[in-house]
Amino acid sequence: MNIPEELKYTEEHEWVKIEDNIATVGITDFAQGELGDIVYLEIDTLDSEIASNEVFGTVEAVKTVSDLFMPLGGKVIETNPELEDKPELVNEDPYGEGWIIKIDISDISEISSLLSYQDYKNLVDS
């Protein structure tokens, strides 16, 4: 299982890459493996201000539909346009081309509530 050390994580299996005040968010390799083949993503929160831990969309896989949770509060400023025609990118490249949204972070101090690489590794290994 791939867990990049430079990213932050949530207990709900989202990953977060922070650059200045912008967070790029996707689901982890572990999550996409558990979901199976992803066939559709519904993200209708573009330009919306959403609190941390609130639902920002759903991911539909062959096996199930699962909610996607905001790792940090902020405004959804971009969604990945590639996922509309190729939702399988989340399976193929979850930490690269399979990113899901970008957030303008409203409270940078919330970053401290995210899991480190080691914390997330411990979570999925248990």
Question: Considering the domain boundaries, does residue 97 fall inside one?
Answer: yes
How many other β-carbons are positioned within 10 Å of the β-carbon of residue 111? Answer: 14
pLDDT 10s digits, 62-114: 989 999 999 999 999 999 999 999 999 999 999 999 999 999 999 999 999 99
Domain containing 59 equals 8-108
How far is 56 from 43, CA to CA, in rounded Å? Answer: 7
Question: Considering the domain boundaries, does residue 119 fall inside one?
Answer: no
Tell me the CB-side half-sphere exposure of residue 94, using CA atoms within 13 A: 24
List beta partners, residue 67: 58
* Secondary structure class of 45 (helix, strand, coil): coil
Q: What's the pLDDT at 102?
A: 98
How far is 15 from 112, CA to CA, in rounded Å? Answer: 14
Say which CATH number the domain at 72 has. Answer: 2.40.50.100
